Structure 1
Amino acid sequence: MATSSSNASGFSRVQAACATCVRGGKRFVGRYRAFLLDPGTLFTLASLILLVIAAIVTPDGLINPEHAHTWLYLASALAGSVFIWWEAIQGIREKDFTADIPVSFATIAALIIGQYSAAAVVAVLLLLGGMLEEFVSARAGNALDSLAKLLPDRVTIRREGEDRVVALSEVLLDDLVLIRSGERIPVDGVVAQGTASINQATITGESLAVEKRPGDPVFAGTLNELGALEVRTTKVGEETTLGQIRRMVEEAEAQKAPIERILNRYAKFYTPAALILGALVWWWSGDILRAITILIVFCPCVMVLATPTALVASIGNAALRGSLVKKGATIEAMAKVTAVAFDKTGTLTFGRPKLTTIQPLAEITENDLLRLAAIAEKLSEHPLGRAVVQAALSRELTVPDPEEFTVLPGLGVRARMEGAEVVVGRPQLLSEQDIDVPAEVVARARNLAEGGRTVILVAHNRQVVGMLVLEDTLRPQAGLVITRLRKLGIRTVLVTGDNTVPAERIAGELGISEVHAEVLPAQKVEIVKQLQAQGLNVAFVGDGVNDGPALATANVGVAMGLGGTDVAIETAEIALLSDDLTKLPHLLSLSRQAMRAIKQNLIFSLSVLAIAVGLAIPGILAPVTGALLHELSSIPVIANSARLIGLRERD
């Protein structure tokens, strides 16, 4: 019976896993339907699948020309080559000479002499690179759709004295929108009534929640963490700040020039050289086989391998160390980066408040003061309250529930514990509760707050007994990263929507001299463009929705993978999956090493080409021996690229 039960349980788990896979597959097909049905994707997958089957059935056909004459290798070669030939014809019509043209001649020549496996491998390698780039573009498009998830489908408005639930599209200018605790704000507007703590990091990048009172502006897509508001609508739909962010991301993606592949860069010279030399040899010798040999040895097989093998090895190295590089061209772009612009909140810092200082102001210990505040804040939903409770728990203090708990207007709390009253809040709130706050305490709190910190006071039985200081703290590795970047000759810039004082404090601690604070998403884009106008290749590192346009505009966008939003992660070309900034200097160094390896591969392949041409002109090399020389010359190229996988991070 136990075995039967165990088998049933195992079958249920397998069934559940299968169901999850099916649902995931359906979602993937739904999101990427256009990409999956694209002719380039279909031809690439068909050629790749046939090549894999052929390699399984006849594995030695990949290295032995005599065993490459199978219909599976031929089918794979034709499936890939037909699409490349079509692309080459389209390129010639549009006077766009890309790698498709020399590869077309190479695959035709390989097919003529029966090198079906060589033609298939070259075709698949070229097509896979293009397909992966198209997939990244499709992901970027889906990232824009995820912006809509930041807004509710239906909202509550107050019209003619009645509360009505309507679709977001029906909200009009000057409508009064009601926003409860935990809801996202659906429009840009001004607070008409109420007090709330709003997390607007997605728009402005501010690390701590902002208190909103009547007359204060609010933005669509921000989160009401605590409190209730009535907001008078000033902007709706595409006119909101969030709508403008979406539009800027779209425009940046459309205007950003695609990175030109190395092989495409030289294809316009390479192809005519092969054709002219082949024709001259035929005219001079009268031997068509020598001309075909010239085309075969001119085949950019090794050149095709020279770039992608190094790029794939680099991408694999990055993945093993927790960084997702989405396409090979990003490695080429990363190698040219000369400036890195950082967002602050959630990038250089953790993006959440942390208790950093406990100052008793009476005869009370730090732990007792923290315990009082934690008990009072235990039932609070405010991020500052949660940070206080977390700090107490990290010190292994006992934090029981308060006997009574009240949220005070002005975002403070009052609690009763062990027969005593405890009030926690900012100095102004305590004064509003008729608690005497000494002038020297107010002055000390003001001085601490000027550094971009949040200061809250703790009153026990209506006497101020202590002060707690909370702030967004630096990631421990941030300073090391800036130092390493400077050693690499990289210029560093801080670009944040947060207030000037905390931005300059963070920059000072890290040694960043160039600071742009209190900037909106559109201004971040302008700063990136200004750096590019100075001749710099810019990498932008960010995590929020407000960073999306800048990530798309920069030469390379780098997103924080754990704490980053979907928009940031999918707009960027690189995601730091572990949120470890130390991976950034490694990626820059790795990219530069990859480009050196590619140049070495190209020099080697051109040297082999020169030797092969020298042997083909007098007829020493025949078509088959020429193809064999090409096959053998690819081994050093692959080995040189493979060493990049083991490249380690430098201290």
Structure 2
Amino acid sequence: MTENAYKNSKEKNIRSLITRYRDFLLDPGTLFTMASGLILIIAIVAYPQNMLSDSNSTDEGNWLYLLSALIGSSFIWWSAYQGVKERDFTADIPVTIATIAAIAIGQYSAAAVVAVLLLLGGMLEELVSARAGKALESLAKLLPDRVTVRRDGHDIVVSLEDVQVGDTILVKSGERIAVDGTILSGTASVNQAAITGESLPVEKQSGDTVFAGTLNETGAMEILATKVGKETTLGQIHRLIEEAQTQKPKIERLLNRHAKVYTPTAIILGGLLWWWSGDLTRAITMLIVFCPCVMVLATPTALVASVGNAALRGNLIKKGATVESMAGIDTVIFDKTGTLTHGEPKLSGIIPLKNNDENDLLLLAATAEKFSEHPLGKAVVRAAEEKGFPVPDPEFFESVSGVGINVKTSGKNIFIGSPKQISGLDFSISDKVEENIAKQSQSGHNAVLMGIDNEIAGLLIFEDKIRPESEKSVKDLHKLGIKTIMVTGDSKAVAERIAKILGIDEVHAEVMPQEKVEIVKRLQLEGHKVIFVGDGVNDGPALVTADVGVAMGLTGTDVAIETAEVGLLSDDLLKISYLINISRKAIKTIWQNVAFSLSVLSVAVVLTIPGILTPITGALLHELSSIPVIMNSARLITYEPKD
């Protein structure tokens, strides 16, 4: 890479980083923290003696400490005011009283240190969650902007917003379907994984139902629009995600849960000490040592370290609160297609008939499918290439939409297609062939007919290949005492076969997106904490509704990645048990930090009562006691859970 290219790349990365974190960088809390902290650093460098001085505001340079204290404290005062208005007694209240009192008696450095430390803890928390989702924008990309509609015998192109129920929509090969509707005429192979999660394209013909947002891979259709806009299945997914995002409660900061006890205790002790000793400085010192600076750092430092640990191993955790949620998980729900499986068909075998040779059939089938765009055809060609077979071009190729392909090669006429779609063709299916097809279907496989010169020569058997790490991932979760569930839009036979192989506890097959949400909600009502793992648009609502949504990062759609709290960038399911382990370790670390903080607080209170500690030494004690907390949390960066 040239020097200019390196500089351009670096500048591009910086711009991307600034764009991603713009909201965080421009957040008032960030701006106040950075301004107050910068001024405090300048004050300490210029007038270090004032940090340890108990003198009043007449000392030279104290104006810098006062400015830092006022900038930092003003944001805390405003937060405390908002909390009081909403009857939410957070830890900002004793800090407000302490900083006001410290400023009033000229202890500017103490007020500045307390304000900066508290704001720093809050800023670290915001940093972890500084990533905006764009899931709903991604959903919109699944629909075309313009749609061909047949009205009064004319085909006209209109905007999506102008399509009405009852319109006849024309959809060509390669186009996305814009409405929910019924096929009036035509046949097509429709990839509807985005809605139903089915791993293979579905052959559609007159009378069948289609969904908005699905892709017409081959063929052409006239569709009667029965649902448009927000009423379509895709529109309902959009609504479910929107509702889940607004209804899902945020996890409170650990300290604020106990602030209703902590805050009054600090105020009462400060007041009693003033009444008992008659020394206002001791009362202010009591409020300062009670300032929860170290306790505020206890949580975000551990969360930042655990999020960093996950990132180093290819896992994107978007919010620090997600770590806390994962620590309490007792149930993991997996989507099947693209999650437990690769989400693309694989030729798993060939059943020769009429004394045909398996390898001969594979080569003929690959030659026939060489120009096909169908996923099953590509799987056949790939299987032949993996065996090292040279795949020649066919002499003649014809794709019959929704039925199959007719090909001529090596002097033979080859037909490959679905058993359900061969009525009207010169083929008859024997009882033996029907038994084979039924047997493959029951075992969760997809059988496709292969005919040579008007005779059925064999069956091509396809399956959606299971990810190699899926079985171990399920076993690891069971070792952690976690229940596993699989949900899928695929058939019951397919789902049960895969669940049996992987050892999954519970299966829900042939479910739609809204049903996945209902399953998650039911488990939550029963008191379970749920992770949902998925990769498709249809998983979006369930990913948001679950306590933690985990998206497959490389294969997942934009909707899944943006709605989930966690992205597995390496698509490695083994990371799920690892993430739960690191989360549990993080929570344990947080409680260690809290215990240490409370110990320091107890010592500080004992030293404050006889006047040994002053406001400035009390603030410094807080500053020094934060170092062990940060070091303890930093251990999480290199933590590796044991197998």
Does the CA contact (< 8 Å) of 2:69 and 2:115 recur in 1?
A: yes
Residue 309 of structure 1 corresponds to 301
Does the CA contact (< 8 Å) of 2:549 and 2:564 recur in 1?
A: yes
Residue 145 of structure 1 corresponds to 137
Residue 629 of structure 2 corresponds to 637
Residue 176 of structure 2 aligns to a residue in which SS?
Answer: coil
Identify which of 614, 622, 625 aligns with 2:617. 625
**1:365-412 deviation per Cα after TM superposition (whole angstroms, max 9, x unaligned):** 543322221111111111111111122222232122222211024331
Q: 1:139-288 alignment to 2 at 5 Å?
A: 139-140=132-133, 142-288=134-280
1:509 Cα shift? Answer: 1.4
**1:82-114 deviation per Cα after TM superposition (whole angstroms, max 9, x unaligned):** 222212101101101123324434555676341
Identify which of 119, 127, 143 aligns with 1:123. 119
Residue 45 of structure 1 corresponds to 31
Q: Using a 3 Å threshold, how does the CA distance of structure 1 residues 309 and 451 change in structure 2: closer, same or farther?
A: same
Q: Using a 3 Å threshold, how does the CA distance of structure 1 residues 577 and 15 change in structure 2: closer, same or farther?
A: closer
Residue 565 of structure 1 corresponds to 557
**What is the identity, as a one-letter code, of the residue corresponding to 1:400?**
P
Does the CA contact (< 8 Å) of 1:103 and 1:123 recur in 2?
A: no
| Corresponding position: 1:101 with 2:87 | no
**1:209-266 deviation per Cα after TM superposition (whole angstroms, max 9, x unaligned):** 1111100000001111111111000000111111111111111122211112211101
For structure 1, the 5+ residue unaligned runs are: 1-5
Question: 1: CA distance between counterparts of 2:127 and 2:48?
Answer: 23
Residue 3 of structure 1 corresponds to none
Q: 1:442-453 alignment to 2 at 5 Å?
A: 442-453=434-445
Does the CA contact (< 8 Å) of 2:124 and 2:304 recur in 1?
A: no
Residue 258 of structure 2 aligns to a residue in which SS?
Answer: helix
CA RMSD of aligned residues (A): 2.9
Q: Using a 3 Å threshold, how does the CA distance of structure 1 residues 195 and 310 change in structure 2: closer, same or farther?
A: same
Residue 567 of structure 2 corresponds to 575
- TM-score by structure 1 length? 0.90
Question: 1: CA distance between counterparts of 2:611 and 2:64?
Answer: 32
- TM-score by structure 2 length? 0.91
Residue 411 of structure 1 corresponds to 403
**What is the identity, as a one-letter code, of the residue corresponding to 1:589?**
N
Question: Which of 626-635 and 398-407 deviates more?
Answer: 626-635
**What is the identity, as a one-letter code, of the residue corresponding to 1:395?**
K
| Corresponding position: 1:114 with 2:114 | no
Question: Which of 355-364 and 638-647 deviates more?
Answer: 355-364
Q: Using a 3 Å threshold, how does the CA distance of structure 1 residues 570 and 428 change in structure 2: closer, same or farther?
A: closer
1:179 Cα shift? Answer: 0.5
Does the CA contact (< 8 Å) of 1:77 and 1:123 recur in 2?
A: no
Question: Which of 17-26 and 87-96 deviates more?
Answer: 17-26
Question: 1: CA distance between counterparts of 2:35 and 2:340?
Answer: 44
Q: Using a 3 Å threshold, how does the CA distance of structure 1 residues 120 and 649 change in structure 2: closer, same or farther?
A: same
Question: 1: CA distance between counterparts of 2:607 and 2:3?
Answer: 65
Question: 1: CA distance between counterparts of 2:76 and 2:289?
Answer: 19
Question: 2: CA distance between counterparts of 1:633 and 1:256?
Answer: 36
Q: Using a 3 Å threshold, how does the CA distance of structure 1 residues 566 and 108 change in structure 2: closer, same or farther?
A: farther
Residue 181 of structure 1 aligns to a residue in which SS?
Answer: coil
Question: 2: CA distance between counterparts of 1:309 and 1:69?
Answer: 32
Question: 1: CA distance between counterparts of 2:443 and 2:586?
Answer: 43
Question: Which of 219-228 and 451-460 deviates more?
Answer: 451-460
Q: 1:304-453 alignment to 2 at 5 Å?
A: 304-361=296-353, 365-429=357-421, 432-435=424-427, 437-453=429-445
Does the CA contact (< 8 Å) of 1:586 and 1:649 recur in 2?
A: yes
Residue 452 of structure 2 corresponds to 460
Does the CA contact (< 8 Å) of 2:363 and 2:389 recur in 1?
A: yes
Question: 2: CA distance between counterparts of 1:50 and 1:416?
Answer: 79
Does the CA contact (< 8 Å) of 1:430 and 1:437 recur in 2?
A: no
Does the CA contact (< 8 Å) of 2:76 and 2:96 recur in 1?
A: yes
| Corresponding position: 1:485 with 2:485 | no
**What is the identity, as a one-letter code, of the residue corresponding to 1:303?**
M
**1:137-179 deviation per Cα after TM superposition (whole angstroms, max 9, x unaligned):** xx23x31122111100000011111110001111111111011
Does the CA contact (< 8 Å) of 1:302 and 1:605 recur in 2?
A: yes
1:350 Cα shift? Answer: 1.2
**What is the identity, as a one-letter code, of the residue corresponding to 2:614?**
A
Does the CA contact (< 8 Å) of 1:414 and 1:421 recur in 2?
A: yes
Does the CA contact (< 8 Å) of 2:170 and 2:221 recur in 1?
A: yes
**What is the identity, as a one-letter code, of the residue corresponding to 2:610?**
P
Q: Using a 3 Å threshold, how does the CA distance of structure 1 residues 92 and 421 change in structure 2: closer, same or farther?
A: same
Question: Which of 424-433 and 562-571 deviates more?
Answer: 424-433
Identify which of 542, 551, 574 aligns with 1:550. 542
Question: 2: CA distance between counterparts of 1:61 and 1:560?
Answer: 53
1:124 Cα shift? Answer: 2.6
Residue 57 of structure 2 corresponds to none
1:417 Cα shift? Answer: 2.3
Residue 527 of structure 1 aligns to a residue in which SS?
Answer: helix
Does the CA contact (< 8 Å) of 1:189 and 1:218 recur in 2?
A: yes
For structure 2, the 5+ residue unaligned runs are: 54-59
Residue 398 of structure 1 aligns to a residue in which SS?
Answer: coil
**1:6-42 deviation per Cα after TM superposition (whole angstroms, max 9, x unaligned):** 9xx865x46965896698589x48xx98x4697xx14
Question: 1: CA distance between counterparts of 2:630 and 2:17?
Answer: 34
Residue 208 of structure 1 aligns to a residue in which SS?
Answer: coil
Question: 2: CA distance between counterparts of 1:123 and 1:382?
Answer: 57
Question: 1: CA distance between counterparts of 2:49 and 2:239?
Answer: 51
**What is the identity, as a one-letter code, of the residue corresponding to 1:47?**
T
Question: Which of 448-457 and 294-303 deviates more?
Answer: 448-457
